[in-house]
Structure 1
Amino acid sequence: MVTRMDLLAEVVEWELGMFQRVHNRGGRADCQERPEAFRLMREITHAVLSDAFVESYAQDLRRGEAEGRNFMTEKYAVMEGQITPFNPDPRISDIARTESAWRDAVASDFPHVVAPDGGDAFRRYLFAELQTYSSATIAAYADCVAAARREDRNLAMERYELLMRKLDFGSLAQREAAIREAGNAGARG
């Protein structure tokens, strides 16, 4: 039986394979040389979403690969304005807007860990990524966002908390305090 963690790992490996095949205008990007960092960031991105999302997205990736598509190439092409957005699903803008607001809230509370000025880039990145999802996967993601709203949860906060634990920084609050203290010590020194 395939576990959620197995499926999540499969999704991340499909994404990594696509990412490694992206051809950048200036050659390979630095981030393409750090697959472990890519794996970690993609794992935390999907880990806070439902089983239904992970299962649907895994199907998208398998289907995309069979069709010769590279979702990462498509995402970056949309981000860079090389191709126009091609998925008209209205839920895409709502998801990107909500996730961006959550990210902005985290950045406001933890500005030493999460760059306060990164919200626009994050929204553009997520909007472009959502372009590659099937209707079923977008529906599953929209359900995750709706459930989080009902439960007064912040999915961006959950991702950053997971990231801090995986990097052995404890919690987001602990990491923020450590960075702030290191800055204060440097200013006093």
Structure 2
Amino acid sequence: MCSRDNLIDTITAREWEFFQEVNNVGGPASCQSMPRTFSTMRRAQYTCWDRQALESWLDDLADYRARGMNPVTIKYARMMESTHPDEFASLATMLPPVPNETHEAVEELVGLTVRWADELAQHYPLYMGRGRVLHTRDDTPDKTSVETYARGEMSTYSLRTLTSLLATYRTAAQEGRNLQELIAVAQVHAYGYQSLDDVERALATGSMGDRGLDGQHVL
């Protein structure tokens, strides 16, 4: 059995392959040439996933490959329902359907994600202000919110993966743990900061130096 770190490495490598295959209007996006940043952000996301969810998502990625489908392309297309509704209307019939049970699981996970992001923004407004807006209501053609992003991504997970994640998220909520904070801490550690408080002070005093946080939009 491979280690948890090796499992995450494999997942991130598979996701990078799909990410490279996304065709953007106007040519490749700048973030498609940032493998280290991509890996850092994706690995941070998996900080709070248990092994069962990780293995299930890796299976999902293999299934997408076998079917000749790209989950990253599908993810971004689903986000367009909020950010580019006219364009989304022309794509909607080409996307795989989201069953009701899957939709309900996604919405519960999205609700917890946004609640935790709201709480994090109250404590670390400067840090969170560098990232995405939080709510779908604030989406624009140039800004995709945490809520819309989470809904687009989670809609690509299988029900098996969603069910495993729900168990983790529900337990965290019952115990008063903020999983968005755990992800954020993993991100700032990767950039050499000791804590979110460290980052917030650096932002407040303009003393970040060369330790940027260039990956907050890369997922």
User: Residues 154-182 of structure 1: CA distance to partner in whole angstroms, max 9, x if unpaired?
Assistant: 00000111111111111001110121122
Larger displacement relative to structure 2 (25-34 or 2-11): 25-34
User: Residues 112-158 of structure 1: CA distance to partner in whole angstroms, max 9, x if unpaired?
Assistant: 11128610211101101111111100101111111111221100000
Match of 1:97 in 2: 111
Tell me which amino acid in the other structure corresponds to 2:49: L
Match of 2:176 in 1: 152
Counterpart-to-counterpart distance in 1, 2:44 and 2:57: 15
Tell me which amino acid in the other structure corresponds to 2:185: E
Counterpart-to-counterpart distance in 2, 1:94 and 1:71: 21
1:38 and 2:38 matched: yes
Unaligned runs of 5+ in 1: 184-189
Question: Identity of aligned pairs, percent?
Answer: 26
Cα deviation for residue 75 of structure 1 reads 0.4
Match of 1:167 in 2: 191
Larger displacement relative to structure 2 (107-116 or 46-55): 107-116
1:138 and 2:138 matched: no
Match of 1:187 in 2: none
Larger displacement relative to structure 2 (41-50 or 84-93): 84-93
SS of the equivalent of 2:62 reads helix
Counterpart-to-counterpart distance in 2, 1:142 and 1:117: 23
Give yes or no for contact 1:8–1:47 (8 Å, CA) kept in 2: no
Match of 2:16 in 1: 16
Return the TM-score normalized by structure 2: 0.79
Distance change (3 Å), C-alpha of 1:117 and 1:56: closer
Unaligned runs of 5+ in 2: 82-87, 136-144, 208-219
Counterpart-to-counterpart distance in 1, 2:38 and 2:154: 18
Counterpart-to-counterpart distance in 1, 2:33 and 2:50: 30
1:178 and 2:193 matched: no
Larger displacement relative to structure 2 (84-93 or 51-60): 84-93
Match of 2:80 in 1: 80
